[in-house]
Each structure stands twice: as structure tokens, then as C-alpha cells.
Structure 1
Amino acid sequence: MIEPVEHSAISEYRFLVENHLRVIYPEIDHSAFAQTLIDIMAPDGNCQTPETHQNHWDQRDTVMITYGDSLLTEGQPPLETLLQFSESFLKETINSIHILPFFPFSSDDGFSIIDYGQVNPKLGNWDHINAIADEFRLMSDLVINHCSSQSEWFQQFKRGESPGKDYFFCGSPDDDLSEVVRPRTNSLLQRIDTPEGPRYAWCTFSFDQVDLNFANPHLLQEIVKVVKLYLDHGVQIFRLDAVAFLWKTVGTNCLSLPETHELVRLFRTLIQFVSPHAMIITETNIPNRENLAYFGNSNEAHAIYNFSLPPLLVNALLCGSCQHLKTWMMSMPPALHGTTYLNFIASHDGIGLRPAEGLMDEDEINNMVSMMEQFGARISMRSLPDGGMRPYEINISLFDAMRGTLDGEDEWQIERFFCAHAIMFALEGIPAVYIHSFLGTRNDQVAVEQTGQNRSINRHRWDYDQLQTQLANEKSTHARVFKGICHLLKVRRRQPAFHPNATQFTLHLGNSVFAFWRQSMDRQQSIFAINNVTNQEQIVPLSEINLIGTDSWVDLISGELYTNLRGDLVLKPYQVIWLTNLLQQT
């Protein structure tokens, strides 16, 4: 008698997980291990088949990026202060919060995790995380390329004890590692004396951040337990930190290897069958073409960081030309439904330069680096295979990066800052705004001196009472910046043409005006985003924009109505116009 074929979500779940495992671990019992992972993720057997090509986002989505302790109130857990600020000031502006690693750590401001299962007690506890997740869509880092040298797993490694002794990737001083791509200048291998003799732990980022060995399926099993824990505490967006380095094979560049991509697919499958609206975002600070590969066939990342945007946009405003920005945008494929871009121009790190390679020439990058240094930036370097070094990242507050142009500082800093954000908000994708961009925070040179870390320049910790005083003073720079950014976002979230997957076309209005067209998916609303990227007035004939004469047109930002379609747009320095057909402005 032929057994009936089981058609259910759980059988499909098992089938897909087994297929991923066959690629990653050809030698193991795929069926048994797939069941082990599914038992972790869906212990009661409840799951549902996710819809394919489904957008779990729209124009109302905006993410705020923040550390758990960016805002401090004496006697109060910082996570509680963060929730108070977000509810009081941002409830009508954002709907998602990315709290950078909130776990016990030993270095790198959280990205060297000691214990994946605990909240850093200096920030609060799981109750505080749950409270934030109740009010906002919570995004958390899944820092799994490496963990802290102070973790229990690594202590076991040093003692030669299980399970940790097999959880870390090791190399040999005799290996040919000349092709390995990495973002740091320190030595790759760290000698560790163990009871079995010396072992050489692989450290992509620092000796305190020791790379995990995903060739060991038992390690993967432990990481899946971490994923389930985060889901149970309300995490809905998983940021896969430094995921491009996840799988190592000696003799290769150890970057974005096939097994890495398959692991991302596996994590997506494991998560979406138990939480269909959850998202995976890959953090891959690598050249643009390699970054795009993390969409897979709409079966890897739901969203990828648009890493090329920050350096190209800063450069456009610095030199007053959007040539490279236009060329890049025309080369970017529209994201298929079920995938999108995560747009950002400032973060806890800095302005990455690798994503600009191949888009800007070396002299242009060096000119940008030199001017940013004049605006107070610190420059982080990376090692090259030939032993040389190259700028890897510009560490600077974005507000200070907008001080001027290649000609030096000028009076247009705030206007330039708004222009940068308005461009980001109008582009295809979900915008992510760093908390210090909301607040117009400047370079924190004192923090750099205290920590010795370049990235501390853009990781200021605000006294919350002092911040509230600044925001209450309408004349303060911080209040002006906050009000302006929030205004743009409140306008944005009402426009269906700003849906992350709405149609986008680049317009050609010269290199001084960066312009593009967005159209809502129902084709009812058009928005022409027209941006003067220079410190000089620019004139754009409306006839060049090809507006439909039967519609009325209005600038969503200023409210100005345009009735003479044969006239001109006169753009002040760094002015932005979101020109839309009138009936769709609310």
C-alpha cells in the first residue's frame, strides 16, 4: 500500500531545511539534523508556509538605529529612557527601532558578545526589550561571525574542553592566506596555547573577536537556539552582522563563499516558517555587485544595506555633482517584491569606502577623505594582500560631514544635511536613520581620546535631560535638525509613491540636480524628487520634467502649488522639491 504524501507546512519546512543542509554539510544525516533544528524553532510543530514575494513593509516604515545607551538618565535603565524618548518624540515618525547589540560584551561597543542569551545589565533586562518590542518593530543584531574571547565557549577552547574547543575556526601560520579579504590591519591568526598544543584562532576583526566555525553543525544548532530566543522576545528584524565572512576555506578570499549564501537561506527558512512577517537583513560592507548577490533568488535577505549610497551621496554634496550617484542608481536593479533595500547614510560605524570602489576613482575617494579630515574625521584603514593599506572607512558625525564642500566650510550645513536625508527618504527602499542624525549630534572627539577608537566619534551618549532642553529650544541646532527630519518623514509616510517597492526612474537634469521619479504601485500617484546638490541656485524648466498637464502639482515639502507648467523651478542651494499630483498629497 502506498503511503499518502504529507502535504503540510511542517513537511515543506522539513524538506527545505534538509535541502539547505545538503549543500552546507554533505556528510551528515540531513533528515535527523533538520528535525533537530525544526524542534528548536517550532517545538509544538506549529508553523505556516510563508507567502512568496510578499512585501512586509510599506511607505510608513522607517527604522531608527541606536545604541541601547545613546540616551542616559541617572538612576534609570538606558533601555527605559530609550523607550520614553521614542514614545514621546518619534511615535508619529518611526515604527521600527534597531537597538545595536544589547548583550554583555568585551569590546567594539557591543559587537564582541560574551553571552548571546542575556541583556547587558548596564542597559536593562529582557522586560525592557519586550516593552520596546510591544510598541515598535524591533530589529536586533545576530552577531554570529565571531564572539568575544571572554565568552564561555572561548574559555572552553583554551582549556581544550567541549563543546567550545570545536566552535572556533583555526588556521595555520603555514597556510597561504594572501587572498583573504578583511577590513582590519591586525594579524589574522592569534596563537592560543591549549592542552593539545598551540592552535591559531582566526580573527577577522580583532583578537577579542574570535571567528566561529560554522563547518561544525553543533555550533549552528546553538546559534539556532539564539535565533529562537530572540524571536520569543519580540525581535522581528534580524540584522546578520558581518555575514559575508561567515564561512572560511583556506586558499580562498573567505568572503561570500557559497556556503555563506546557503546559511543565509537556511536562516531565512528557519525563521519565516515560524514568524512569516519577520525579516532578515544582511550587513555586507562590500563592493556593490557582491552586496546585491545577497538577495539571492528572492530567497536570501529580505533586505540588503545600500552600502554604496553613503559615500556616493556625501561625495555628490561635497563636489556639487551627482554624476556618480546617477550612474550608480541607473545600474541598481529594482528589488523584486518580497525584497527591498535598506537605505542609510549614517550609522554607528562610519562612511564605508569599499562600496565606492569601482564607482569612484581613487583620486576622488582620496579627495573626499582629505576634506572629511578637515571636518574632523578620523580615517580607518584596511590591509591589502600586497601588504599596503587603504582607507576603509571615514569616521565622522554625518552632521559634521555636511560642514561644507571641497572648497571648504560654508553657511549651508543644515540645508545640505536636510538635502542628504530627503534624497534617502525618497529613494526605493526602507530608510534607516541613525539617532544622532535625528539630533544633529557633532563629532565626539573626547570619546575618541577616551577609547582610542575612531568609531567613538559618532557614538555620543546624550544626557537625556540636556537633550530635552535642547529640543525644547526652537533656536537650537538640535531642535531645528530634529524638527526638519521629522517633517520629511511625516510627509513621506503618507505617500504611496514612496512605497519601498514603488517604481523608480532616474531623470537627467544635469549634474547639479539629482532627480528621479517615483510612481505608486496602483499608478495613481507620481512624485518627482528634485534635489539641488550644489551651493548655487539652479533653474530647472518644468517642461524638462514632463508633467501631465491635466493634473495639478504641489511640492509636498513646502506646500507650494505649481500651475504654470511652462515655467521654471528655481532651486535654492540644496533645496529639495517633492513634486506630486495634488490629489495624492495626504
Structure 2
Amino acid sequence: MTTDFLSLDELKQKIHVLLQSLYPNSDPEALTEACLGAIGKRLNSDVVAPERLWSERDCLLITYGNSVRESGHKPLDTLQNFLHENLQGVFTAVHILPFFPHSSDDGFAVIDYTQVDPELGEWDDINALAQDFKLMADLVINHVSSQSLWFRNFQYGKEPGRDYFVEADPNYDLSMVVRPRTSPLLRKTDTADGVKHVWCTFSHDQVDVDFRNEKVLLEYLGIIGRYLDEGAQWIRLDAVAFLWKELGTSSIHLPQTHDVVKLIRLLTEYKNAHALLISETNVPNRENLTYFGNSNEAHIIYNFSLPPLVIHALLASDCTYLKSWMMSMPPSPVGCTYLNFTASHDGIGLRPAEGLLSDDELTQMLQTLESFGGKISWRTDADGNAKAYEANISLYDAFKGTYQGTDRWQVERLIASQAIMLAVEGIPAFYFHSLFATPNDYDKLETTGHNRSINRRNWSLSDLNARIQEAGGPGQRVFDELRRLIKIRGKQPAFHPNATQFTLHLRPEIFAFWRQSMRRTQSIFCIYNLSDQQQELNLADINLISTENWQDLISGQVISDLYGKMELAPYQCLWLTNYSDPSA
């Protein structure tokens, strides 16, 4: 539900209640007005029905602003030209990863939230992209760069920033704190008031801000307002699970964190009824699902368990774990949906596979990915033990082979993984490099020393064009087929992000599920051969309705015998539908 169903007084009352809980020592009425002032003037107050927030046409591209470069041109300008020439009408939305001045982590240590990195371009370039696509912008909400004005002011005891950061006594037992890194949690910092120890969940260049201070909340509301004013429509809450800190707790998923997300949703929808919040919480599946709230937190949550499970299924030629997880996933609540992805600028998260893959299966998968050139990044658990946090590898190279070793089916496995993602309930999101079958970037890995660099290649425009134009090459094959599949998907009502989904029970080598449009006019049976062997499919096992005509959307094959058999080639994908007029 959007705030347009609320009167302004009702909206203020909801904000008032949340602020009273978060900041009991503040004047909630004055703080409510301050929040409305910080988010800024309304841009759009149209009523938006939940089912119209997105459609089967929506597809997101995830990219850095400098993923493709051309000498003498601003990277954002080069990116827009490449997207316009090659991907206009394919993608409806683009996530430009942090495009602000930064000091590390390829943008996620933000120095200044209000500026575009001059090495990329300027706000006009961001505005131009927002004219062609729904634009997703990152709100790096948990931490700022140690080179930011706020942190420098903290060191000098000046405003703004003097009281914006979380301090802790290094002698206090902080072993309960959940973290995704192995570096020390506290950073020793010299200040005008002496030595202080500040909280750093990720790295010592990324210093956590203190949302227990209402001034910090107002700063970030102002930043959200600025992004919406500049054309962003989707706001990604980066690492939001760690937002609120309390000594003596895990400092992850605290009730106050959920209250802040609820507050941001109310104010974001007030500002622009078409704006969407996306939570980025790379955590076990059940924890991730909590960020839907009661349809009052994130509109969209990343489907973090999908990447490791899809990769495992294709490496093992076995959908058992993927199918079990899919059966356990609840339909998204009204006004919410999933963001499905199989690769991103980060590695393949392993925490979302906890409780879903056995330790032996996880170990075998990681050993296989390492044999394909991947790297493993680690975290420290509450007992001080090192645990695998993510696998760093390009998606293309993750599919060099199976548990049996390398083979000739690398391209087919990559395409199959993306065809699964395209059909699963939710909105599909493609990482830039998956479109071109980009291999591991060992040169960048060696230059930076950071494992994640292996999947963050910077293409020159000429080299990228050569890759997608090389007849019969992996880049050309993948690029052309994925664009075709995305366009097919966009015409199918049964692929609406909230359309019904049921998992089918076939044999382990064949993963299958059924989608039905919300008006029940279309069914699609999505069937995938996960093996390098031909598989026989008995059509009677999927129970196609005999009074309707069926065809495969991908190959165009018409199914003449509904009780016959089909031979599935290695890694072949079927989208069997009864819908004869996709333009209707």
C-alpha cells in the first residue's frame, strides 16, 4: 500500500509512532515535521495499485558507471550510449552501482553522497539515464568513508559529524556481533577529545554511522530526497541489516532497524508514490524474508539464496536442494516482490545457503569453483572461527564444467542459469558481465589484491563490441540469446512478478515449475535439463490441458501429442505455454 491511501494526518501519526519508539527522548511531533522537511517536496502523489508497481516487462541491469569505457568520453555517457544502442527495449531498469566520490570498495566507501564522481560524469548524466530507464541508486546507509566530511569533523569535534559515529570500549565483549569480515570490529582513532574506538562492520575505511542519533536519520532522509529529485525511482538500502547497534546484542536485524526501514518506506512513498525500496541483506533465507515486514518495509528483497542454489544445481546436475528451497518460499506479500539474480558485483553469497545446502555439498561446490579459478572470501563467526562468506568468480567461469570437471557446455549452462532466473517469481536482475560471458579478470585481481575484483572487469568499448560481434564466440552467443529470452519473457502475463508459482516433481536432473497469470489466462511450464546428458520428458507427467494448444516459447515447437515424450538436449530450457496471443 502506498501513502496515497493515507491522509497527511494519518501519515504523520504513523511516523510519530515510529519516532517515539526509536527516539523516546525527542519531541516526536517536531521530529515528524523535520523528517517531512528532510525528504523534501512531493514529486508524485498518484495512487498506485500494488499489482501495477511492476510487470512482466520489468528487467533490471546491474552495472558500474565505468563498466565500459571509451577514450575521450565520460564513462556514464559511454554507458548510456551502449545501453541505448544495444539494450533499449530489453531492460526497463538500470542499477548504477555507487557513482559518488569514494575511497575504497569500488564505491561503497562514500566520501560525498551529494556529488557524482567526476571521473564518471555529473548529475546531468545520471538524469539522462533516468529518462531512459527506471534508475536504481544505492543508499549506502550503514557506513561512510573515513575520508568523508562527517568523519573528519568527528575527529575534530565539529558539526556535522561530531556525534554521528558508533563508539565502543575495546574491553567490552563484542563477540556476539555478527559480521561479514575478519578484520577487527573497532578502529582506533585519534580525535580532539583523545583516542576513541569506532565501529567498522566492513572495513576500517568504512565507518558505521550511529542511527541512535536522530540527526543521522535526518541526514539520510535528505540524501534519499536528493536521489529522488535527481530521477532515481528505486532506492537500494545497502547493508541495511547492520544499521542499528546495541552493545550486548548481535547488532543485526534489530527491531529498531526494521522500524527505520518502515519509516523510510513511508517517507519515500510520500515523496514519490512510484518509488520503490529494495533491501540488500546478504543473510540466511529466513532472516532475509523479514524485510518484507507486514508489506510495510521493503517493496523488493534480493533473493539471495537463488545464486548458490542455481549454481549448485548446474554443477551437480541435481535440483534436489533448489527444488526444496523453492517449495519452502512463500509467495511475496501484496505490494512486494523478489529481486532474482544469479551474479552481482559482489561474490556468490554463502550465508544465504546456510540450512539449505549441507556442509558436504557446500564444500564440494567451493572446491569446484576454486578449480575453475575462483577465490573464497571469509568471515569470522561468534566463536572466532573463519567461515566461508562468499565465492568470488565470474558467472561464466563458474560454469566451466561440473563436479566431473571441465567440459564443452559452459555457454549452455550460463544461458540455462539465466533462463531459470527469468522465469522464477519476481523481477529478474542481470549483472552486466553475465550478458557477455565475461571471464575472470585475473589482471584486476592482481592489481587490487581484492577477491571481488575478479568479477568487476572494466571493458573498453572496442573490446566489448568485438566480443559481442564475434560470430560464434561465447560473448555473441550469450548476448544474443539472453536478449531474445528477456524479450520473450516481457510478453508473458504468467511471468508477472506476482503470478502464481508451483514447483513440479520430476527427477533430479530436470528442474521444473509452473507459472499462471493473475487473470488465469496463461500457464507456462518452465522445464530445465540440468545435465550434460539428453533427458527424456514424459509430457503426461506435467499434465498439459488437452483442450488447449501448447507450444514452447523458446524454440517455437508446437506440442502435437500431449501424452507423448520430448527429448531434452543437454541444458535445454522449455517454456511451454497455452497462450496463443502474447500481444493481447
CA gap 1:316/1:8 in 2 versus in 1, 3 angstroms: closer
SS at match of 2:204: coil
Pick from 200, 205, 208 the counterpart of residue 208 of structure 1: 205
Tell me if 1:400 matches 2:397: yes
Can you give the 5+ residue segments of structure 2 that lack an aligned partner in the other structure? Answer: none
- Counterparts of 2:37 and 2:138, CA distance in 1: 23
Q: Runs of 4+ in structure 1 displaced over 6 angstroms? A: none
The farther-off stretch of 449-458 and 51-60 is 51-60
- Counterparts of 2:39 and 2:14, CA distance in 1: 14
Q: Is the 8 A contact 1:540 1:570 kept in 2?
A: yes
Can you give the 5+ residue segments of structure 1 that lack an aligned partner in the other structure? Answer: 1-6
The farther-off stretch of 224-233 and 14-23 is 14-23
SS at match of 2:15: helix
- Counterparts of 2:283 and 2:265, CA distance in 1: 21
The farther-off stretch of 191-200 and 279-288 is 191-200
The aligned residue for residue 220 of structure 1 is 217
1:472: how far off? Answer: 2.4
Pick from 11, 14, 17 the counterpart of residue 16 of structure 1: 14
Tell me if 1:29 matches 2:18: no
- Counterparts of 1:141 and 1:376, CA distance in 2: 30
Pick from 77, 80, 104 the counterpart of residue 80 of structure 1: 77
- Counterparts of 1:479 and 1:373, CA distance in 2: 26
The aligned residue for residue 288 of structure 2 is 291
The aligned residue for residue 544 of structure 2 is 547
Structure 2 counterpart of 1:502, one-letter code: A
Q: Is the 8 A contact 2:513 2:526 kept in 1?
A: yes
Q: Is the 8 A contact 2:299 2:335 kept in 1?
A: yes
- Counterparts of 2:339 and 2:137, CA distance in 1: 15
The aligned residue for residue 504 of structure 1 is 501
Q: Deviations over 1:450-509 (max 9, x none)?
A: 000000000000000221122223222211110011111011000000000000000001
CA gap 1:165/1:151 in 2 versus in 1, 3 angstroms: same
The aligned residue for residue 563 of structure 2 is 566
The aligned residue for residue 157 of structure 2 is 160
- Counterparts of 2:566 and 2:196, CA distance in 1: 67
SS at match of 2:418: helix
Pick from 329, 333, 336 the counterpart of residue 330 of structure 2: 333
TM-score w.r.t. length of structure 1: 0.97
- Counterparts of 1:447 and 1:464, CA distance in 2: 17
SS at match of 1:164: coil
Pick from 381, 389, 396 the counterpart of residue 386 of structure 2: 389
The aligned residue for residue 4 of structure 1 is none
1:582: how far off? Answer: 4.5
The farther-off stretch of 278-287 and 573-582 is 573-582
Tell me if 1:447 matches 2:466: no
The aligned residue for residue 106 of structure 1 is 103
Structure 2 counterpart of 1:468, one-letter code: N
- Counterparts of 1:472 and 1:576, CA distance in 2: 24
Q: Is the 8 A contact 2:375 2:451 kept in 1?
A: yes
- Counterparts of 1:584 and 1:109, CA distance in 2: 45
Q: Is the 8 A contact 2:139 2:238 kept in 1?
A: yes
Q: Is the 8 A contact 1:41 1:224 kept in 2?
A: yes
SS at match of 2:257: helix
CA gap 1:582/1:195 in 2 versus in 1, 3 angstroms: closer
Pick from 116, 122, 137 the counterpart of residue 140 of structure 1: 137
The aligned residue for residue 316 of structure 2 is 319
RMSD: 1.3
SS at match of 1:549: coil
Pick from 533, 538, 545 the counterpart of residue 535 of structure 2: 538
Pick from 367, 373, 377 the counterpart of residue 370 of structure 1: 367
SS at match of 1:237: strand
Q: Is the 8 A contact 1:428 1:501 kept in 2?
A: yes
1:585: how far off? Answer: 4.4
Structure 1 counterpart of 2:376, one-letter code: I
1:584: how far off? Answer: 3.9
Structure 2 counterpart of 1:14, one-letter code: K
Q: Is the 8 A contact 1:315 1:368 kept in 2?
A: yes
CA gap 1:479/1:51 in 2 versus in 1, 3 angstroms: closer
1:162: how far off? Answer: 2.2
Q: Is the 8 A contact 1:53 1:298 kept in 2?
A: no
Q: Is the 8 A contact 1:55 1:337 kept in 2?
A: no
1:569: how far off? Answer: 1.8
The aligned residue for residue 268 of structure 2 is 271
Sequence identity (%): 52
CA gap 1:50/1:567 in 2 versus in 1, 3 angstroms: same
- Counterparts of 1:579 and 1:225, CA distance in 2: 48
Q: Deviations over 1:217-256 (max 9, x none)?
A: 0111111111111000000000100000000001110001
Tell me if 1:350 matches 2:347: yes
1:385: how far off? Answer: 1.5
Q: Deviations over 1:237-278 (max 9, x none)?
A: 001000000000011100010000010011100010120111
Q: Is the 8 A contact 1:495 1:584 kept in 2?
A: no
The farther-off stretch of 263-272 and 191-200 is 191-200
- Counterparts of 1:135 and 1:47, CA distance in 2: 18
Tell me if 1:380 matches 2:377: yes
Pick from 510, 513, 517 the counterpart of residue 513 of structure 1: 510
- Counterparts of 1:361 and 1:246, CA distance in 2: 30
- Counterparts of 1:275 and 1:380, CA distance in 2: 39
**Aligned runs of 1:429-508 on 2, under 5 Å?**
429-508=426-505
1:50: how far off? Answer: 5.3
- Counterparts of 2:17 and 2:429, CA distance in 1: 34
Q: Is the 8 A contact 1:542 1:568 kept in 2?
A: yes
Pick from 173, 181, 185 the counterpart of residue 184 of structure 1: 181
**Aligned runs of 1:404-415 on 2, under 5 Å?**
404-415=401-412
Q: Is the 8 A contact 1:100 1:110 kept in 2?
A: yes
- Counterparts of 1:102 and 1:46, CA distance in 2: 23
- Counterparts of 2:475 and 2:412, CA distance in 1: 13
- Counterparts of 1:47 and 1:64, CA distance in 2: 25
Structure 1 counterpart of 2:443, one-letter code: V
CA gap 1:302/1:160 in 2 versus in 1, 3 angstroms: same
Q: Is the 8 A contact 2:436 2:467 kept in 1?
A: no
Q: Deviations over 1:48-99 (max 9, x none)?
A: 4855745410000000000000000001000001100111100121010000
Q: Is the 8 A contact 2:38 2:219 kept in 1?
A: no
TM-score w.r.t. length of structure 2: 0.97
CA gap 1:322/1:254 in 2 versus in 1, 3 angstroms: same
1:42: how far off? Answer: 3.8
